[in-house]
């Protein structure tokens, strides 16, 4: 493992780079006691990277940025703990925008380019105990042939596919961390209002008919945005509003 000391930044955390890990989230969860707020665990390769609902996250050698950040706050300010994922999705979107890649955010915390997933976020931990792990997978130089082993019904893309050029993964990582720090700092100091305005501007689900699957009975209806603490709002055909903390959203075919 190589420890890179961050010389500036709001969090002053270090970046711990591992050649290979099962999962950066798993490592961070297991080693949380020795991590400081803002420490970043980065793996060049993950052998068992996973996403929400325990789905496999493809992490080919240094082509997908896979990081987990230790977030420690006692207590977490306002709704910070419940909107951590959304806040991070917006930071990823902003950092892609700087590379001329136009992305949208999709509840709960996916980042899409042309309807295809380019980044995923997995937040784990215990906010009441004062710590969380923010796991981010961003497809940077991942190729179409890397993706061929994935379910074609879940379209994915990478920065390299979208821009038809290769990116320096380390550089993208540093830029993204700076964007995350800025977004977090602004929200901790100024509240989440700007976040909601920003989410509305870049929301992939605006005006869509959707189905939310939470593992029990799926709810179909019209997407009605997000509550201020990060829950999705859906209005069903009887006009009744439903709100969910977590789940999977798919677009209804007409
Ligand atoms: C999802 O879309 O379901 C979330 C994907 C999160 C993947 C990242 S890669 C870094 C970190 N380590 C993991 O095992 N998962 C997250």
Task: Give CA–CA dist 178/73, Å, rounded.
Answer: 19
Among 51, 67, 156, say which to mutate for ligand 1: greatest number of ligand atoms within 8 Å of CB.
51
Domains along the sequence of the chain with CATH? 2-201 (3.30.930.10), 209-251 (2.30.30.100)
| Residues 178/208, Cβ–Cβ less than 8 Å | no
Count Cβ neighbours within 10 Å for each residue of 132-151 and write b for 16 or more, e otherwise. Answer: bbbbbbbbbbbeeebbeeee
pLDDT of residue 9: 47
Q: Are strands 40-46 and 14-21 parallel, antiparallel or unpaired?
A: parallel
| Residues 188/195, Cβ–Cβ less than 8 Å | no
Q: Does 25 sit in the ligand 1 pocket, CB within 6 Å?
A: yes
Nearby residues of 129 by Cβ (< 8 Å), 6 or more positions away: none
For residue 241, report the distance from its CA to the centre of ligand 1, in Å.
30
pLDDT of residue 190: 84
* Residue 63: closest CA among 82, 45, 86: 45
Q: Does 122 sit in the ligand 1 pocket, CB within 6 Å?
A: yes
Number of residues written out for the chain: 254
pLDDT of residue 188: 86
Question: Angle, nearest 10°, between helix axes 193-201 and 80-97?
Answer: 50
Full-prediction pTM beyond 0.85?
Answer: yes
Splitting the chain (254 residues) into consecutive groups of 10 residues, what average pLDDT does each group show?
62 86 98 93 95 91 94 89 95 98 97 97 96 97 91 91 96 93 89 89 97 93 95 97 96 83
pLDDT of residue 205: 98
């Amino acid at each position: 493992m190589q420890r890179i000391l961050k010389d500036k930044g709001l969090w002053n955390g270090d970046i711990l780079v591992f050649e290979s890990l099962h999962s950066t989230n798993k490592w961070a969860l297991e080693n949380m006691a020795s991590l400081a707020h803002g420490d970043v665990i980065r793996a060049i390769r993950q052998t068992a990277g996973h996403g929400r609902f325990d789905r496999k996250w493809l992490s080919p050698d240094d082509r997908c940025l896979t990081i987990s950040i230790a977030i420690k706050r006692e207590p977490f300010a306002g709704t910070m703990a419940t909107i951590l994922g959304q806040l991070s999705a917006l930071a990823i979107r902003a950092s892609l925008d700087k590379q001329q890649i136009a992305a949208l955010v999709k509840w709960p915390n996916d980042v899409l380019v042309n309807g295809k997933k380019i980044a995923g976020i997995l937040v784990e931990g215990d906010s009441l105990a004062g710590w969380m792990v923010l796991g981010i997978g961003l497809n940077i130089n991942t190729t179409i042939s890397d993706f061929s082993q994935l379910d074609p019904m879940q379209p994915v893309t990478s920065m390299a596919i979208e821009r038809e050029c290769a990116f320096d993964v380390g550089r993208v990582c540093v830029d993204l961390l700076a964007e995350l720090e800025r977004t977090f700092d602004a929200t901790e100091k100024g509240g989440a209002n700007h976040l909601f305005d920003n989410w509305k501007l870049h929301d992939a689900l605006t005006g869509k008919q959707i189905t939310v699957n939470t593992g029990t009975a799926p709810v179909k209806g019209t997407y009605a945005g997000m509550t201020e603490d990060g829950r999705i709002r859906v209005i069903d055909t009887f006009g009744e509003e439903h709100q969910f903390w977590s789940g999977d959203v798919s677009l209804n075919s007409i």
